[in-house]
């Protein structure tokens, strides 16, 4: 297991105990990291706060990236509490249902812009805010999906959005590498999470993924968390700018 006892990090995107972000948070905490954890709003807080408290998080903060100042307030609180930051785990994505369930051809300008803002630009903003706290280097991680690379039935608008996230990862890695800040995106196979439930016919997508993957199974949030812990660790200091698959081999089979 990766050793993270001296590291402090921020987890963005836990919705409940089934979230990929929570699987990552558990793995990072088990490896010794101290975590700041956010929740979307007052409605989400009762689901997230007990999980964060169970991980001994000293900072449990609201963060709606569409609300002016909230992301900035999170980083200000981290600066005041710790004065530094070693990693950020960004597990946030959103598209309006009408745009997500329709053709990309038909998506609205506002829906496309909102999906890009929440799912991609908030990662850019987090990188910019984390940079001054990572004087000794650090690690930025986000979550993508195979639908960024190939057309996946019913993934629709999120395909172009996740493709933009992967391209953004490469740009951030190139720009921040001289400061010792590594930037990668993880590409899990389909998991049954709250976010994924918004995709039409998602159960069918999962069945196809399990049948197609060389290991003939779906991955778990624990699988993703183990990879995240390794990437945050000092053993992964030469890995940056990559899309790293954790999908039981799903992406290698046509």
> What are the helix (H) ranges across 92-157?
97-100, 109-116, 122-130
155 tagged catalytic: yes
d(CA 114, CA 107): 11
The residue annotated as part of the active site, out of 22, 39, 146, 155, is 155
22 tagged catalytic: no
d(CA 26, CA 144): 20
* Residue of 234, 246, 27 whose CA lies nearest to 143: 246
The residue annotated as part of the active site, out of 22, 39, 94, 145, is 145
Number of residues that this document lists for the chain: 254
* Residue of 6, 168, 2 whose CA lies nearest to 86: 6
Answer for the pair 206, 217: CB distance below 8 angstroms, yes or no.
Answer: no
d(CA 47, CA 146): 29
Answer for the pair 20, 188: CB distance below 8 angstroms, yes or no.
Answer: yes
Catalytic annotation, residues: 145, 155
């Amino acid at each position: 297991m990766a050793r993270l006892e001296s590291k402090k990090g921020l987890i963005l995107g836990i919705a409940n105990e089934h979230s990929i972000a929570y699987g990552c948070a558990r793995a990072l905490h088990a490896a010794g990291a101290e975590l700041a954890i956010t929740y979307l709003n007052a409605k989400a807080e009762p689901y997230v706060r007990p999980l964060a408290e169970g991980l001994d998080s000293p900072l449990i903060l609201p963060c709606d990236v569409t609300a002016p100042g909230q992301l900035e307030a999170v980083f200000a609180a981290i600066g005041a509490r710790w004065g530094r930051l070693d990693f950020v785990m960004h597990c946030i994505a959103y598209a309006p249902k009408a745009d997500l369930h329709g053709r990309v051809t038909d998506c609205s300008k506002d829906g496309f812009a909102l999906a890009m803002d929440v799912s991609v630009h908030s990662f850019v903003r987090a990188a910019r805010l984390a940079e001054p706290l990572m004087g000794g280097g650090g690690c930025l991680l986000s979550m993508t999906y195979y639908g960024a690379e190939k057309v996946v039935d019913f993934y629709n608008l999120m395909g172009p959005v996740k493709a933009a996230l992967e391209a953004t990862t490469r740009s951030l890695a190139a720009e921040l590498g001289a400061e010792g800040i590594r930037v990668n995106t993880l590409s899990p196979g389909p998991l049954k999470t709250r976010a994924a439930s918004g995709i039409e016919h998602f159960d069918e997508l999962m069945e196809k993924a399990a049948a197609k993957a060389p290991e003939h199974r779906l991955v778990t949030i624990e699988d993703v968390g183990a990879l995240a812990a390794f990437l945050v660790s000092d053993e992964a200091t030469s890995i940056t700018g990559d899309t790293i698959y954790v999908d039981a081999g799903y992406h290698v089979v046509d």
